[in-house]
A and B are shown apart, each in its own frame.
Chain A
Amino acid sequence: MSAAIEIPYNSTERPDTGLYNAKLGVWLFLASEVMLFGALFSTYVLLRTGSETWEHGAEFLNVPLATINTLVLIISSVTMVMSWASLKMNNFAKFRLYMGVTILCGAVFLVIKSFEYAHKFETGLFPSTSTFMALYFTMTGLHGLHVIGGMIVNSYLWGPGSKMWHTDPHRFTNRIEVAGLYWHFVDLVWIFLFPTLYLLPGK
């Protein structure tokens, strides 16, 4: 018996399930995330339908900036896939490049978002201002935390975590795939948040 315990199916698929452990794990985690944001979107629906009036986000939220942010996140999703594909093609340098761009896109998103937040505070729009603003700050805030979480993971995999490429390339590639699945999910949430908060007309 060796000192380190070797958990099976860490880097190879289990034949009968066709999955390696982390892939199943991340899909389960994403299922719970769907429930988390599902609850928030349900809250939006319930409070909106229960209210006589509702604000049109575009009137005081910055649609152009949010559009740019949408593009930034979509680009980051593409580069995330490219970084994984580079590893699949055995090109570690390109992986570093694409992963770096992904992290950078995350940072750009957060910077733009923080400008938006600052502008809201300056014009006297706070979470306590209205139900709409409460939902806006809660939902985008929680999404922002998810972006930060993803950036931390990606930075680790770009920096110190990438040592694994030299010892266990297959497992490292899997890690990038798993991180990518999470990153796509974070993008996807924004794809829903953007029209819901910025574009949907009021009543």
Chain B
Amino acid sequence: MIEATLDDVHHEEHHGELSFIRKYVFSTDHKVIGIQYGLTSLVFLFFGFCLMMLMRWQLAFPGQPLPIGFLSRWLGDARMPGGIMAPEFYNQLGAMHGTVMIFLGVVPLAVGAFGNYLVPLQVGAQDMAFPKLNMSSYWVYFIGGVVMLCSFFVPGGSAQSGWTSYPPLSDITPQSHSLFTGQSMWLTGMVFLITSSLLGSVNTITTIVQLRAKGLTWMRLPFFVWAQLVTGFLLLLAFPPLEAAGVMQLMDRLAGTSLFLPSGLVVAGKALNVSGGGSALLWQHLFWFLAHPEVYVLILPAMGIVAEVIANNTRKPLWGYKSLVYSVIFLGFMSFIVWAHHMFLTGMGTTINAFFQTTTMIISVPSIIILTALILSLWGGSIRFNVPMLFALAFLPMFGIGGLTGLPLGLASADIHLHDTYYVIGHFHYVVAPGTLFALFAGIYYWFPKVRGRYLNETLGKVHFWGSLICMNGIFMPMFVQGMAGVSRRLYDGGSSYLHAQNVLVLNKGMSYSAWALAVFQLVFIINFFWSVFAGKKVTSDNPWEATTLEWATPTPPPHGNFLKVPEVYRGPYEYSVPGAKRDFLPQNQPPEA
């Protein structure tokens, strides 16, 4: 067996005479593409985080010059006159933080990187169903990212109408028919990003449906694959309406149409010279028709990763695998009919509010089933508290806080008070930052040995984990307090000019210090990452965590084509601690004993 491995690896090296560019840049290998997605999105995540760290200075010390002189000088007088942040620049940072984090950071990491790398391995395929399409979806994403970054350098700076780009503001800021304005480039970038996820989701779904190994029936799929499948459908069906909306907003901005501009609009005391007759609310509907399913695009792959890590490190099957699967399907379906709970205050009317409030309460049921099943999975397990498991365990209460604080926002009457306050920011950051991001970190620590053949350092990992956990809560918990005091989320001065905010202003400093401390702990991760790539402890087995799913049945790292022999599946995904078995895990490809 070992001989065969070496022989094949040798063979692999021989035929692998692809040029450097074909092998690492324009590769069609799903694993290389997954790594490309992973590294790019991690860079974008850090970039988005830097934008926020700048904003946190202005929020904690409004109107004071940035103490880092060279940074103010580099940003220039247009953005930081005298080292003090200009309001327009603050708005740019806010809009781009959201955009970069969601569309260039978390989704490409969760779906592009983890989905690409792991789905073909976990279903026992050699590659994605359409390898060339896969390569192009990465490069389309890359172009979208570059367009977004370039938008900072056009006259007037990047988009500044929030990540939601609500018209009429986004239609007329700045008033120019040029493609090279921040907002128009934002829209162009979005069209690229949407096209990229569209291509990716077609690929993922086809791979899961068509390329499952022999014996890998639907109810034997790892939960992560189920999560990616539902995510694929969300991307496929929810993104196109935003693509249409993006094209229409581009028409408004470039061709002077008024699809989103109502009649009689007055800007700066002058009637706007457009035909009118459009609807600003229309954009909100099209935007949230994407952006609510997008929330589940952010969270479902995270749940999938957590499920894998928990099953492996409790050494027992997931509790209620079938309920998890049915819940995730129901969740995906429901996520298409809750979008207008973001719009309770737009005057849609109480009937529509009542409908969306009801569907929103219903969608919380499958989420709670999933979370409960994951918590119950811990019961009676012999838990290994390694770094991936710590992150996965922390995901449960953090996502729980994020989810439960969402309920008051989903109720139309409670939302009147909480809408557009820091409470909302706290709520969705708990879902995405210590929620999804922790799950993604769990995934990075868990699968790094398979990708690289080396472990990430445990001690540095624990420093990273505990530091991040404390700092994240330091940032986001006070937001609930500020929000309930009524502090709006979009204030340039953090609320210091508002009487009702005075009692909670002091929290701004604590949150900012937490954010900057969080950066220090991310540096620990970055150091750990690069150090471990080159000098981490080597794995001694292809299955170092003694896991059951198919990705561990490959050589380390998996060669082009993945499996040495076509895998066949004989059992469910989580057969840990089966009574009477020789070892405490039975890999899916292990034939039953005669």
Contact = CB atoms under 8 A, between A and B. Distances in A.
A128 B256 contact: yes
B274 A128 contact: yes
Contacts of A127: 251, 255-257
Contacts of B241: 35-36, 38-39
Of the listed residues B257, B279, B289, the one surrounded by the most CB atoms of chain A closer than 10 A to its CB is B257
A32 B278 contact: no
Given A46-B282, A127-B256, A131-B277, A36 B240 contact: yes
Contacts of A47: 259, 277-279, 282
B198 A32 contact: yes
B244 A8 contact: no
B183 interface: no
A31 B237 contact: yes
Contacts of B206: 21, 24-25, 28
Contact of B12 (A1, A39, A40): A1
Nearest to B120: A7
Contacts of B239: 32, 35
B236 A28 contact: yes
B583 interface: no
A7 B131 contact: yes
A50 B245 CA distance: 18
A2 B16 CA distance: 10
Range of interface residues on chain A?
Answer: 35 or more
Interface stretch (A68-76, A81-89, A132-140, A164-172): A132-140
Interface stretch (B65-73, B122-130, B351-359, B495-503): B122-130
A130 interface: yes
A77 B202 CA distance: 25
B116 to A, nearest CB: 15
B129 A43 contact: no
A60 interface: no
A33 interface: yes
A28 B205 contact: yes
A24 B240 contact: no
A25 B259 contact: no
Contacts of B198: 29, 32
Nearest to B251: A138
Nearest to B236: A32
Contacts of A46: 279, 282, 285
Contacts of A35: 236-241
A2 B561 CA distance: 9
Nearest to B211: A8
B127 to A, nearest CB: 5
Range of interface residues on chain B?
Answer: 35 or more
Given A21-B206, A32-B237, A36-B241, A5 B127 contact: yes
A123 B277 CA distance: 22
B286 interface: yes
Nearest to B256: A128
Interface string A12-34: 00100101111011001101110
A25 B282 contact: no
A24 B209 contact: yes
Contact of B131 (A5, A8, A14, A17): A5
Interface string A138-176: 100010000000000000000000000000000000000
A1 B279 contact: no
A17 B258 CA distance: 46
A7 B277 CA distance: 52
Given A128-B255, A131-B258, A142 B247 contact: yes
Chain B interface, >50% SS class: helix
Contacts of B277: 47, 51, 130-131
A100 to B, nearest CB: 26
Interface in A163-199: none
A28 B15 CA distance: 35
Interface string A105-144: 0000000000000000000001111110111011000100
Given A131-B259, A138-B257, A1 B244 contact: no
Chain A interface, >50% SS class: helix
A25 B198 CA distance: 11
B278 to A, nearest CB: 6
Interface in B504-523: none
A42 to B, nearest CB: 8
A16 B423 CA distance: 49
B154 to A, nearest CB: 23
B237 A39 contact: no
Contact of B259 (A14, A19, A134): A134
A55 B240 CA distance: 28
B582 interface: no
A184 to B, nearest CB: 18
B220 interface: no
A134 B276 CA distance: 11
A40 B247 CA distance: 10
A39 B246 CA distance: 11
A19 B211 CA distance: 11
A130 B275 CA distance: 5
B126 A5 contact: yes
Nearest to B28: A5
Contacts of A31: 236-237
Nearest to B232: A28
B1 to A, nearest CB: 16
B209 A131 contact: no
Contacts of B201: 28, 32
Contacts of A50: 279
Contacts of B417: none
B377 to A, nearest CB: 30
Interface in B263-319: 274-279, 282, 285-286, 289
A50 to B, nearest CB: 6
Contacts of A24: 205-206, 209-210
Contact of A21 (B126, B130, B559): B130
Contacts of A40: 244, 248
Given A43-B282, A130-B277, A25 B202 contact: yes
Contact of B11 (A1, A5, A14, A21): A1
Contact of A138 (B130, B259, B276): B259
Given A5-B560, A25-B129, A35-B237, A131 B247 contact: no
Contact of B278 (A29, A131, A137): A131
In order of increasing CB-CB distance, the 10 nearest A-B pairs are A134-B257, A128-B256, A39-B241, A36-B240, A39-B244, A35-B240, A131-B277, A3-B15, A127-B255, A21-B129
13 contacts: A5-B126, A7-B129, A17-B209, A21-B206, A28-B201, A28-B202, A32-B237, A40-B244, A128-B275, A129-B275, A134-B278, A135-B259, A137-B251
Interface of A: 1-3, 5-9, 14, 17, 19-22, 24-25, 28-29, 31-33, 35-40, 43, 46-47, 50-51, 126-131, 133-135, 137-138, 142
Given A38-B241, A128-B256, A128-B275, 8 more contacts: A3-B15, A8-B210, A8-B211, A32-B237, A36-B241, A137-B251, A138-B259, A142-B247
Interface of B: 8, 11-12, 15-16, 125-127, 129-131, 133, 198, 201-203, 205-206, 209-211, 236-241, 243-245, 247-248, 251, 255-259, 274-279, 282, 285-286, 289, 559-561, 564
